[in-house]
Amino acid sequence: MHVTIDQAQKIINAARKEAEKTKTKMCIAVVDSGASLKAFHRMDDAWVGSIDIAIKKAKTAVFFGMPTGAIGQLSQPGGPLFGIEHSNDGLITFPGGLPIVDDEGVLVGAIGVSGSSVENDHKVAAAGVKVCGVSDLPEHPWRT
Contacts with a copy of itself, residue ranges (CB under 8 A): 2, 4-5, 25, 32-53, 56, 60, 62-65, 72, 75-78, 80-95, 117-118, 140-144
Residue 53: CB minimum distance to a copy of itself, A: 5
Residue 130: CB minimum distance to a copy of itself, A: 22
Residue 53 vs 129, nearer CB to a copy of itself: 53
- Packing angle of the helix pair 118-130, 5-21 (nearest 10 deg): 140
Task: Using CB atoms within 10 Å of the CB of residue 141, give its burial: 0 to 12 exposed, 13 to 18 middle, 19+ buried.
Answer: exposed
Residue 129: CB minimum distance to a copy of itself, A: 19
Q: Please state, as a whole number, how many other Cβ atoms lie within 10 Å of the Cβ of residue 21.
A: 11
